[in-house]
Amino acid sequence: MTATEAASSEATPQTAIPTTGSQSAPEATAPPLVARAAAELVGTAALVAVVVGSGIQATELTRDVGLQLLANSIATVFGLGVLIALLGPVSGAHFNPAVTLAEWWTARRAGGSGVTLREAVVYLPAQIAGAIAGAVLADAMFGEPLVKWSTHDRSDGNLLLGEVVATAGLILLIFGLARTDRLRFAPVAVASYIGAAYWFTSSTSFANPAVTIGRAFTDTFAGIAPGSVAGFIGAQLAGAVVGLALAAVIFMNGKTGTNAGQSTAA
């Protein structure tokens, strides 16, 4: 699951490429890279703690799997939205290697001012470390073993297809918001999409390689068996490519508005 998804800028928080958090004024100086990396680590850790912790809490409160998933998805929607709103102005609130790589690739191809290779190399380990820390923290809060590999197998082909769809939709949403100057809606839009994707995808929408790795460290409701991780990550990266392709076709003229060439941003 999750998410979530959001992209950051290199020299300033405002770029021609996605950013799911609120943007600062164009002339503002971006926070230091160490601050942005810390935001990615803490944000991803908090996101995974929300996902794993709410899953544990739900299974302790009810045996109804539908109610468990409902509780898990609602907590994730609220948690993700808050984290994007809080940390978006700092790092772009990616919390997701698929989003970081998608922005780096797009900036590289277009020569824009998005994430540089150096920044991507810093962001990715921070996101993965944060995801693992978040899973361990959630287990600690609920008295579970701090590290216990998940036994929840998710290797079926239909689940992998679900991850392709979930990640493609996430990338399309983020880049679509960026190219239509509607990034101010990102906290609500991205969180809402992940909440919906919990229910309309067979995989319950991990859509995030870092979160997938973190969830392998907990043998609870939200876990994923280590043997299923590679397949999920491969499907997520494939989905990111599909999402970028769809964004390029649908928004091929770049930023759009109510009138040709006119921004709709407030």
User: 124-179, pLDDT tens digit by residue?
Assistant: 999 999 999 999 999 999 999 999 999 999 999 999 999 999 999 999 999 999 99
Give pLDDT tens digits for 77-107: 999 999 999 999 999 999 999 999 999 999 8
pLDDT tier at 11, thresholds 50, 70, 90: very low
What are the distances in angstroms from CA 152 to CA 31, 86, 116, 163, 202? Answer: 39, 32, 36, 16, 14
* Cβ neighbour number for residue 266 with a 10 Å cutoff: 6
Q: For position 256, what pLDDT does the model report?
A: 52
Return the structure tokens found at 132.
Answer: 């693992």
pLDDT tier at 110, thresholds 50, 70, 90: confident
Q: For position 3, what pLDDT does the model report?
A: 42
* Cβ neighbour number for residue 126 with a 10 Å cutoff: 25
pLDDT tier at 260, thresholds 50, 70, 90: very low
Q: For position 7, what pLDDT does the model report?
A: 38
Q: 7: number of CA atoms within 13 Å, CB side?
A: 33
Tell which residue, 250, 108, 93, 88, has the closest CA to residue 179.
250
Q: For position 107, what pLDDT does the model report?
A: 86
Contact criterion met (CB below 8 Å) for 126 and 44:
yes
pLDDT tier at 16, thresholds 50, 70, 90: very low
**What is the full DSSP assignment across 210-227?**
HHHHHHTT--STT---HH
Q: Which amino acid is at 11?
A: A
Q: Does domain 33-250 have CATH number 1.20.1080.10?
A: yes
Q: For position 18, what pLDDT does the model report?
A: 54
Contact criterion met (CB below 8 Å) for 218 and 145:
no
**Is 13's pLDDT higher than 60?**
no
- ∠ at Cα 148 (217, 4), nearest 5°? 20
Tell which residue, 126, 125, 133, 149, has the closest CA to residue 49.
133
pLDDT tier at 251, thresholds 50, 70, 90: very high
Quote the percentage of the chain above a pLDDT of 90.
79
**Is 224's pLDDT higher than 90?**
yes
**What is the full DSSP assignment across 53-83?**
HHHHHHHHH-S-HHHHHHHHHHHHHHHHHHH
Quote the percentage of the chain above a pLDDT of 70.
83
pTM, entire model: 0.85
Tell which residue, 208, 232, 221, 212, has the closest CA to residue 159.
232
**Is 250's pLDDT higher than 70?**
yes
Q: 137: number of CA atoms within 13 Å, CB side?
A: 16
Q: For position 8, what pLDDT does the model report?
A: 38
**Is 19's pLDDT higher than 80?**
no
**Is 182's pLDDT higher than 80?**
yes
Q: For position 25, what pLDDT does the model report?
A: 44
Domain ranges of the chain: 33-250
Q: For position 252, what pLDDT does the model report?
A: 81
Give pLDDT tens digits for 23-44: 444 446 889 999 999 999 999 9
* Cβ neighbour number for residue 164 with a 10 Å cutoff: 22
**Is 206's pLDDT higher than 90?**
yes
Averaged pLDDT, 112-126? 91
Averaged pLDDT, 116-121? 95
